[in-house]
Amino acid sequence: MPKFVIERDFPGAGALSAQDLQGIAQKSCEVLDEMGPQVQWLHSYVTGDKIYCVYIAPNEELIREHARQGGFPADRVSRVTSIIDPTTAE
């Protein structure tokens, strides 16, 4: 199944409290439960003013629908075409 990276513009994301992040995660999981198993959230990276999320889904449209239902920004959705790491150099 395709993997996607979602870039979310979220001013002040890096200053969010653990409680704020928990609330965001809970809302995301609620929406995912309603959508069914075809969309899976793997993890997210929180930076100063952005949140980068990694999802598995059959298509970009379902990623955007999750964002719409959850009230989350989805400023850029990029399909992952390859994954590399230090072992790629071997």
User: What CATH number did the domain enclosing 35 receive?
Assistant: 3.30.70.3090
Let me know if residue 46 belongs to a domain: yes
Whether 89 is in a domain gets the answer no
Judging by DSSP bridges, how do beta strands 50-56 and 3-9 pair with one another?
Answer: antiparallel
| 90 residues of the chain, pLDDT tens digit each | 999 999 999 999 999 999 999 999 999 999 999 999 999 999 999 999 999 999 999 999 999 999 999 999 999 999 999 999 999 999
The shares of helix, strand and coil residues in the chain, as percent rounded to the nearest 5, are 40, 30, 30
State the total domains in the chain.
Answer: 1
What is the reported pLDDT for 48? 97
Question: pTM for this one?
Answer: 0.92
Q: Would 10 be classed as within a structural domain?
A: yes
90 lies in some domain: no
CA separation for the pair 49, 36 (Å, rounded): 30
Instruction: Please indicate, yes or no, if residue 87 is contained in any of the structural domains.
Output: no
Range(s) of the domain holding residue 32: 3-82
Is 55 a member of any domain? yes
Is 15 contained in some domain? yes
Q: How far is CA 26 from CA 20, 33, 35, 44, in A?
A: 10, 10, 14, 13
60 within a domain of the structure (yes/no): yes
| Alpha-carbon span 49 to 28, nearest angstrom | 19
Euclidean distance between CA atoms 41 and 26, whole angstroms: 12
